[in-house]
Structure 1
Amino acid sequence: MIKVLVVDDDKMARRGIIAEMPWDLFGMQVVGEANNGERALEFLKNEAVDLLITDLAMPVMSGLDLMRQVQQLYPHIWFVVLTFHQDFELIQEALRIGAIDYIAKTQIEHAKMEDVLGRISERIGRNRLSSFQAPVTVPAGQSIDAASMLVFIAVDGQQIDFSLLSGCPFLLGKPMQEISLGMWTVLLEQEMFDEAVAGMKADLIERGLNKQVAIIEINDLQGADKENLRKRLLLYKERSFFYEYENPVFYYTFTADRLNTEYPGWTDEELRTNREAWSSLQWIVQVNVFDELLQEIGKARPSVAQLESIFYTAKNNWLRIVPEEVVNMTDMPGSRSYWQEWTSWLNGVRGRLRGVVIKSSYSDEISNSIMKTVDYINQHLDSDLRHSDLAREANMSKGYFSQCFKEIVGRTFHDYIRDARIENARLLLVQTKQPIYRVAEQCGYPNEKYFSRVFRERMGMLPSEYRQETAKV
Structure 2
Amino acid sequence: MIRVLIVDDDKLARKGLISIMPWSAHGMTVAGEAANGAKALEFLDQQAADLLFVDLSMPVMSGLELIQAARGKYPDLRFVMLTFHEEFEHVQAAYRMGVLDYISKARMELEDNEQILARIRHKLANEPEHPMTVPPSAQPASIGPTAEKAERNAPPPDEAQWRKLEQDWRSPYWLYDKAVFDRLCGQTEASNASVRRLEGLFLRVISQMEAALQLEAEFRLEAEDLRSAIERIRQYRKRIYAQVARSTDLTATAICILKAVLYIREQAARPLHAEDVAEHVNMSRSYFCQIFKKLTGSTFHDYLRQERIRTAERLLRETDRSVAWVANAVGYGDSKYFSHIFYEQNRLHPSEFRAQFHRGDD
TM-score range for the pair, normalised by the shorter chain length: 0.3 to 0.5
**Structure (1 or 2) with the greater strand fraction:** 1
TM-score, normalisation: structure 2: 0.38
**Structure (1 or 2) with the greater helix fraction:** 2
TM-score, normalisation: structure 1: 0.30
Higher relative contact order (CA 8 A, sep 6+): 2
